[in-house]
């Protein structure tokens, strides 16, 4: 069974002292198995407190981030790419410390709109940089899942096919793909086929409506997506993500272009989403069993 996760920023504005506590307590009370902690810079987080809160509420963490222009691992400038490697090493250490085993998000490039395509040198730096971080992460039991995001949020990995090539070029078994239904809805011709194409490389999954609000209340057709996850025998976390101006931090709001309120009550959104994920995956299993026995 897939663990069901909740992105903390559905509930709170930031993973600061009060935000972390509220997110962990609320996600556990709703019944989630996992909380996704946005930790862009571990130096700004009280990791011991985070670890203790997670233990107290029996919640597993995943950690996500987006690299910045200053830590762009896909930069052709070796010093900038190396700064990205250094940042990811710190995030891997923090993840292992708080009891997590997955670092996800936009870690193959900066999380930003690019005005030019990636360079060959930058692509090679990203591949070798992720490989270097992964080799260190393996000993700590941490997997890196590179998120595939739409063209306005990165120039490197916009489709699952690109991510398959990237992950195969890295060639480390603790590096995989992080897909997100919001981004797939923009870029993929067939989201279900994209999921199946990742095969065992798929290591993390975001469920996200096209408007990033209440899931099931938008224009994404989730039934084939859940069926593809079952068919691909994906057993990793399925994490609900949503953003509204009511709960978005300035960093996230800027990069994700969160300019309006699509919900006010994050707890209600999160509660309904967990029901939707459970029902969606259960229905997908039933459909596939029924088709097999017909």
Residues that bind Mn ion (CB under 5 A): 180, 206, 241
How far is the C-alpha of 270 from the C-alpha of 241, rounded, in Å? Answer: 9
Catalytic residue selected from 17, 21, 147, 267 = 147
Smaller CB distance to Mn ion: residue 138 or 218? 218
- Tokens standing for residue 113: 């709109």
Residue 3 or 128: which CB sits closer to Mn ion?
3
Q: Hey, CA dihedral for 157, 160, 165, 169, is it positive or negative? A: positive
Paired strand residues for 178:
147, 204
Structure tokens at 156: 């490197």
Q: Measure the CA–CA gap between 228 and 245, rounded to whole angstroms.
A: 32
Which distant-in-sequence residues (6+ apart) come within 8 Å of 85 by Cβ? 73, 129, 132, 133
Kindly state the smallest distance separating residue 145's Cβ from Mn ion, in Å.
11
**Closer by beta carbon to Mn ion, 59 or else 145:** 145
The pair of structure tokens assigned to 164 is: 């398959």
Q: What is the nearest approach in angstroms of Mn ion to the Cβ of residue 154?
A: 11
Q: Is the CB of 81 or the CB of 166 nearer to Mn ion?
A: 166
CB-count burial class (<10 Å; 0-12, 13-18, 19+) for 78:
exposed
Alpha carbon distance, N-terminus to C-terminus of the chain: 24
Contact 5, 34 (CB under 8 A): yes
Minimal CA–CA distance to 217: which of 248, 190, 240, 249? 240
Task: Reply yes or no on whether 147 is catalytic.
Answer: yes
Using the minimum distance from each CB to Mn ion, give the nearer residue, 72 or 180. Answer: 180
**Marked catalytic residue, from 36, 188, 209, 241:** 241
- State the nearest-atom distance from the C-beta of 288 to Mn ion, in Å: 26
Smallest distance, Mn ion to C-beta of residue 147, A:
6
Residue 21 bears catalytic tag:
no
**Shortest distance in whole angstroms from residue 2 CB to Mn ion:** 16
In whole angstroms, what is the distance from residue 162 CA to residue 136 CA? 24
Give which of 189, 156, 160, 196 is closest to 177, Cα–Cα.
160
Distance CA 230, CA 33 (A): 19
Q: Toward Mn ion, which CB reaches closer, 35 or 80? A: 35
Q: Choose among 241, 247, 268, 203: nearest CA to 35.
A: 241
The number of angstroms, rounded, from the C-alpha of 188 to the middle of its chain's C-alpha atoms is 17
Q: Taking the complex as a whole, how short is the minimal distance between the CB of residue 149 and Mn ion, in angstroms?
A: 7
Active site residues: 147, 241
């Amino acid at each position: 069974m897939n663990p069901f996760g909740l992105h903390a920023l559905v509930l709170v504005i930031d993973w600061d002292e009060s935000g972390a506590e509220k997110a962990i307590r609320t996600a556990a009370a709703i019944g989630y198995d996992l909380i996704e902690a946005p930790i862009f810079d571990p130096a700004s987080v009280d990791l011991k407190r985070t670890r203790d809160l997670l233990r107290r509420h029996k919640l597993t963490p995943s950690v996500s981030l987006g690299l910045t222009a200053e830590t762009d691992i896909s930069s052709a400038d070796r010093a900038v790419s190396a700064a990205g490697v250094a940042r990811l090493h710190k995030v891997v250490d923090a993840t292992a410390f708080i009891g997590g085993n997955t670092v996800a998000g936009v870690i193959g490039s900066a999380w930003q709109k690019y005005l030019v395509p990636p360079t060959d040198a930058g692509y090679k730096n990203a591949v070798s940089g992720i490989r270097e971080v992964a080799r260190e992460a393996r000993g700590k039991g941490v997997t890196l899942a590179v998120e595939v995001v739409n063209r306005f949020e990165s120039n490197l990995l916009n489709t699952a096919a690109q991510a398959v090539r990237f992950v195969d070029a890295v060639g480390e078994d603790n590096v995989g793909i992080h897909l997100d239904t919001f981004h797939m809805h923009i870029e993929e011709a067939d989201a279900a086929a994209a999921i199946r194409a990742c095969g065992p490389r798929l290591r993390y999954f975001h469920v996200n409506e096209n408007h990033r609000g209440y899931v099931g209340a938008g224009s994404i057709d989730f039934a084939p997506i859940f069926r593809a996850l079952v068919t691909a025998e994906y057993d990793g976390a399925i994490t609900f993500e949503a953003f509204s101006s009511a709960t978005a931090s300035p960093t996230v709001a800027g990069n994700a272009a969160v300019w309006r309120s699509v919900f006010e009550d994050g707890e209600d959104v999160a509660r309904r989403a967990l029901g939707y994920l459970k029902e969606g995956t259960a229905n997908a299993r039933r459909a596939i069993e029924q088709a097999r026995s017909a």
